Structure 1
Amino acid sequence: MSSQILSRLAAAWLAAISVGAGNPALAGEPLRVGATYITSGLDPAKGSNGWALVSHGVGENLFTVDKDGRLVPGLAEKAERTGDLTWVVTLKSGRQFADGTPVTAAALAAGFEHTFATNKAALATGGKLTFEAADDLTLNIATEKPVSFLQALFAEWPLIAYKPAADGTAVLTGPYRVADFKADTALALEPNTHFSGADTRSPIDFRRFADAQSMTLALEAGELDLAFGLPSEVVARLKTNPDLTIKSFPVGYQYLAFLNAARPITSDIKVRQALDLAFDRKELAAAINGGTPATGAYAPYFPFAGKQERPSDRATAEALLDEAGWTKDDAGNRQKNGTPLRLLAITYPQRPDLVTMLPVAKAQLARIGITLDTQVVENIQQVAAAGDFDIALWAQHTAPNGDPAFFLNSMLRSGASLNYAKYMSPDFDAILDRFGSEGHGAKRSAIALDAQAKLFADVPASFLVSPVWYVGVSKRLENYEPWGSDYYVLRADIGEAK
């Protein structure tokens, strides 16, 4: 990608940061933002770049979620069903890409076609979609599989809106555009002059930190105006600093453990059930100084979340291992036919809470005689896709579009591109199929609850903690209010407190 496109993308991302009303005096010194993640590149169709570029304020979706978690129009005005597999989407008038050209149905269709040809995660809900521009503001869409709620599909993170450029890059629509991009290191963002309110925004310098501890030190040294995703153990210390404000907020993410059903030991359902019961969720939540024990696959404020805390029961876990043939030797370690019960757990530094949880989980499994080897890996998706783990501690927003279906379809349906647990269940897939014909909110919640009950029984994933996250801000951004997890870190309403 060109330097110009990189600049546009980076700038849009940081523009998404919210600190209250815009301030006309912002056009000066750049705001300095730090996090432990950054987009891996500027092709919106590749991997999770679509999510990152929206989080960075560079891109937008046809539909989005507001600060109250409600699904609302983005670039689109409305979506209407015209047949069993067909829809018509009406775009908002007057919107422009970052190069000043109008946002049209034909331009967006070209971008979406590239995404569906490139990114398997885009296929999770409706299969492969086809597009036809009826006029500049009318986009006809046909889905491969029945979809009852197209608005939610187009709020999914792979479906960022953009137009492909002639040089193979992309042109987006967010409040910022990329001025410069250094892969895995930094973004320089500038206001997109074709997005309303550009004169109220400062440029932004965004830095990626290898770990949350080094980001914390930079915040304390006065090098950052915003540090997103502080480790919980530093919060008490930072709150004593008069130059900083520390804010916490509940997130739609869940901390969970994928249990690899394709590995020799964790292919046994009784072993997976034992692992699920051996995790002490209260202890894990206490270790990260925030959050509550998980009730299931979704944060407790969603209507489709489980209503009861997931159980922890060491005695039953031990009994299940005995039934599976993994008995204790004289030293209290589990073995079967002379082979020790030894598992590999992985996680990644971009989510510091998970790194904190990893040794706690190791100690919990040791109590029932399981030896756990642990690794912190930089590219968790690559390692997980290769299947080189028994347990993967993972952070996942399970309802980023306010709907329960996408997470289940993209990460746990048989054969799904992100099904790291290698879980295959025709019965579970049949439950998910019901989402395709049911658009009523209460009925979709019922389907989600049925799906979770099946997951609780089969345990391809163990749901652990609904977390609380922390951000630190300087006096310059003391009015910043975080919401939307890290999907909307930098938003169009960024401004300065003073």
Structure 2
Amino acid sequence: MSFVFRNCLAGVVIATGLVASLPANATEQLRFGATFITSGIDPAKGSNGWALTSHGIGENLFAVDKDGKLVPELAQSAERTGDLEWIIQLRQDRFFSDGTPVTAAALKAGFEHTFASNGAALATGGQLKFAADGDFVLKVTTEKPVPLIQALFAEWPLIAYKPGPEEGTAIFSGPYQIAEFKADNAVELSPNSHFEGADARAPVSLRRFGDAQAMAIALEAGELDLAFGLPSESVARLERNPDLTIKSFPVGYQYFAFLNTERAALRDAAVRQAIDLAFDREELAAAINGGTPATGAYAPYFPFAAKEARTGDLAKAEALLDAAGWEKGGDGFRRKDGEQLRLLAITYPQRPDLVTMLPVIKAELARAGIALDTQIVDNISETAAGGDFDIALWAQHTAPSGDPAFFLNSMLRSGASLNYTNYASAGFDAIIDRFATTGDPEERVRIALDAQNKLFEDVPVSFLVSPVWYVGLSQRMKGYQPWGSDYHVLRADIGQGK
């Protein structure tokens, strides 16, 4: 069973053998810039699985393609054989970068490492067990019922690999392999000679920029062939450069604010509701020069997205704060029992739009009488997990597998490993439990809408903007087509004239 959406979703190119006419310099090194690179080479740690796939190094059993369709990648098919049992038939023509075939036994060892090391992998099906039945049949037993195993194996923690010879290393099957890894700086990539079309594929130097403006300057100076995630304020200037091509595209990512429900002031749902109403989403979208007010947890082109844009209402926000006992003083800020309503908002430089939004949000909350301190942190996941924040501005692809369940299970279910809000609601959990009972697309839409309505009521998270992103290209890369997120920046067609 598959879901089909608009063609601006993330995906994976599966090599077809159709290679465009190549320029003379087709296999000369390409220079890419981004505000993120993988934090390490162990695919089971943190979000490394997502980053390694984005870099063209790793693949999944199933993936969402450029047309938004859930398709087999390393797998050939999946068949349910019991309430919790599945048989996955692997393709027999795929190889790891060391030349060995992608077998069930090799993938079993990789997945077992992931499920032992990464809590996010457990979000949909719980603890999975694996067995190899011959070279190309992988038996999977889930802890919880999973109606759509294809969507589960398209989730970002479940990158496919076999463990390497040294602890914390791995061998992958994607179109590129790591030639050199410089932590927090760059990844040097060479074509995987065992992936179709390798002879026509260029090596790539992927450089991390801590400052998106610096990346824009490097593109302008001719130092980059591709700059992914340009700051919106630089776009007009770059578009005037005849040697550059700037492309914009809607993304499956959403910008939102996690509210830490364990912080004293934010334990009160009325205060969280007031914060949500104090946000002016039109103003936020204008500040980042693109996008629209969020309708909820998902990009508006998904069938399970809420239909009405989230709107602010400053008068209602102030009334809620008044009723909660937070009185506005002569300085314009609120106090209760002598304590000022002062919050800490954090965000991270890898998403420059969020940095741009931070002072706007500070001004919006000030209108409601809420004082806001702001902080930019380099490792947002680590800081958020530590709990020292009230508001965390966040960017997340909320349907990377083309299905609504993973985001809700991994980031908002009670006790979930990525639940930075500390939100715990038996009512919300009961709603998303229904995902395990049906694979019917229409019913899964209803579940997702019910879950969003519960979040609108409880406000552990405030959904802000559905953004538009920008990519800058040199003449050599002007044919590059972004696919709706950063899940597959480097793909099999890079270096093949596309």
What TM-score does the superposition give when structure 2 sets the normalisation length?
A: 0.95
* Aligned 1:55-454 pairs, distance under 5 A: 55-168=54-167, 169-454=169-454
Deviation track 1:360-414 (CA, whole Å, cap 9, x = no partner) reads 0000000011100000111111110001100000000000010000000000000
For the residues of structure 2 that align with 1:199 and 1:331, how far apart are their CA atoms? Answer: 67
Structure 2 counterpart SS, 1:61: coil
Relative to structure 2, which stretch is displaced further, 406-415 or 68-77? 68-77
Q: Give 2:3's aligned residue.
A: none
Aligned counterparts of 1:273 and 1:23: Cα–Cα separation in 2: 56
In 2, Cα distance between equivalents of 1:33 and 1:74:
25
- Decide whether the 8 Å contact of 1:26 with 1:496 is kept in 2: no
Q: Is the 8 A contact 2:200 2:496 kept in 1?
A: no
- The code of the aligned residue for 1:472 comes to G
In structure 2, the partner of 1:43 is: 42
Counterpart contact for 1:258–1:461, Cα < 8 Å: yes
Secondary structure class of the residue paired with 2:156: coil
Contact in 1 for aligned 2:249/2:484 (Cα 8 Å):
no
Q: Distance in 2 between matches of 1:36 and 1:497?
A: 24
2: CA distance, partners of 1:22 / 1:447: 47
Conserved 8 A contact 2:187-2:205:
yes
Q: CA deviation at 1:94?
A: 1.3
Alignment RMSD (CA, Å): 1.7
Per the alignment, residue 460 of structure 2 pairs with 460
Distance 2:25 2:143 in 1: 46
Show CA shifts across 1:72-126 (max 9, x none).
1110011111111111100011111100001100110010000000000000000
Cα deviation for residue 323 of structure 1 reads: 1.1
- What letter is aligned with 2:334? R
Worse-matched range after superposition: 481-490 or 402-411 = 481-490
Would you say the 8 A contact 2:68–2:402 is kept in 1? yes
Question: For the Cα contact (< 8 Å) 2:348–2:355, is it kept in 1?
Answer: yes
Distance 1:67 1:22 in 2: 21
- Name the aligned partner's letter for residue 294 of structure 1: A
Unpaired segments ≥5 residues, structure 1: 1-12
Q: Are the aligned partners of 1:478 and 1:497 in contact in 2 as well (CA < 8 Å)?
A: no
1:20/1:465 Cα in 2 relative to 1: closer, same or farther (>3 Å)? Answer: farther
Answer yes or no: is the 8 Å Cα contact 1:24–1:200 preserved in 2: no
TM-superposed CA distance for 1:22, in Å, is: 7.1
1:53 corresponds in structure 2 to 52
Query: Is the Cα contact below 8 Å between 2:410 and 2:417 reproduced in 1?
Result: yes
The 8 Å contact of residues 20 and 494 in structure 1, kept in 2 or not, is answered as no
Q: 1:352 to 1:341 in 2, by over 3 A?
A: same
Question: What is the alpha-carbon distance in structure 2 between the residues aligned to residue 246 and residue 15 of structure 1?
Answer: 25
Equivalent residues of 2:247, 2:470 under 8 A apart: yes
Query: How much does 1:215 deviate?
Result: 0.3
In structure 2, distance between residues paired with 1:202 and 1:141: 37
TM superposition shift of 1:20: 8.3
Give, in whole Å, the separation in 2 of the partners of 1:436 and 1:442. Answer: 14
- 1:251 CA drift (Å): 0.2
Distance, in Å, in 2 between the alignment partners of 1:20 and 1:90 is 28
Q: Show structure 2 runs of 5+ residues with no match.
A: 1-11
What SS is found at the alignment partner of 2:31?
Answer: strand
Give 3-state SS (helix, strand or coil) of 1:113's partner: helix
TM-score for the superposition, normalised by structure 1: 0.95
| Alpha-carbon displacement from aligned partner over 1:307-354 (angstroms, at most 9, x marks no partner) | 000121000000000111101112221100111110000000000000
Secondary structure of 1:135's partner? coil
CA–CA distance in structure 2, aligned partners of residues 212 and 175 of structure 1 = 27
The DSSP-based 3-state class of the residue aligned with 2:37 is: coil
- The reply on whether 1:492 has 2:489 as its aligned counterpart is no
Runs of 4+ in 1 over 4 A off after TM superposition: 13-16, 24-27
CA contact (8 A) 2:13 2:66 kept: no
The aligned counterpart of 1:3 is none
What secondary structure sits across from 2:266 in the alignment? coil
Write the distance in 1 (CA, Å) between the matches of 2:189 and 2:491: 12
Q: Distance in 1 between matches of 2:13 and 2:303?
A: 31
Post-superposition offset of 1:135:
1.1
SS state at 1:266 partner: helix
The Cα of 1:495 is off from its aligned counterpart by 2.7
Counterpart of 2:270 in 1: which secondary structure? helix
Distance 2:21 2:88 in 1: 31
In the alignment, the residues of structure 2 paired with residue 28 and residue 72 of structure 1 have an alpha-carbon distance, to the nearest angstrom, of 29
**Partners of 2:253 and 2:466 within 8 A in 1:** yes
